[in-house]
Structure 1
């Protein structure tokens, strides 16, 4: 008969071992994303992304950089959005940035990419950004 300690040890091994071996799978980086939010970029029309030459270079799926701006006079949870080349596109909307800001403040590994572009319509709709956490 299996005792309680032996049972719990066997149960723990059964749960942990698949997690360890699954990490080394060939396509794991995509599977390690936790989707947090899709939002339009606030303030886009005030920054570099609205310039025609920059707008033409933006593509859905392009990685963007998120930067916390805790000293922002208008929003203490401000999160800026930049292209990989350092051009400022705008901010995550104030109504939607608190979770991302809190995670960034804890040095959680966050990534973002452009998920919606309406450049053909002269940006009547601002571009969207998808934010996810890597685990």
Structure 2
């Protein structure tokens, strides 16, 4: 508990604002080539900074920790990679609000969309 107090005090004396969110992961979306991601990129419906939805898919036959990445109007773009999704899936299962946005788009890449996933900073 003391460490939280010291962190809050440091922000107070330094005059800096505390970040509003905690970045959990920056990664490429897997499987986007199987969905409409490239068509959405080419039609300029996807852009850097765009907010995305994350949805758990515990019934996925390949990965019980699967997390789908969707646009705001629920068009599927792909999945968070299996090697990174366990902690984020656990947070989502505990109903912790987890958010994502497009960080980078590279149309020539095999997996063209990079996202940043974050959660709201806990208040203490």
What's the counterpart of residue 115 of structure 2?
129
Deviations 1:3-28 (A, max 9, x none): xxxxxxxxx9xx4xx78xx8xxxx77
Q: Distance in 2 between matches of 1:43 and 1:124?
A: 9
Q: Distance in 1 between the 2:111 and 2:56 partners?
A: 24
> How much is the aligned-residue C-alpha RMSD, in angstroms?
2.0
Higher relative contact order, structure no. (Cα contacts within 8 Å, ≥ 6 residues apart): 2
- Whole-angstrom distance in 1 between the partners of 2:45 and 2:91: 30
Partner of residue 80, structure 1 = 68
Taking structure 1 as the reference length, what is the TM-score of the superposition?
A: 0.73
Q: Which runs of 5+ in 2 are unaligned?
A: none
Structure 2 residue aligned with 1:109, among 90, 94, 97? 97
* Count of residue pairs brought into register by the alignment: 109
Q: Under a length normalisation based on structure 2, what TM-score does the superposition of the two structures give?
A: 0.79
Structure 1 residue ranges, 4+ long, deviating more than 3 angstroms after superposition: none
- 5 Å matches for 1:37-116? 37-51=25-39, 54-55=40-41, 56-116=44-104
Which of 1 and 2 has greater Rg?
Answer: 1
For 1:60 and 1:44, locate their aligned partners in 2 and report how far apart those are by CA, in whole Å: 16
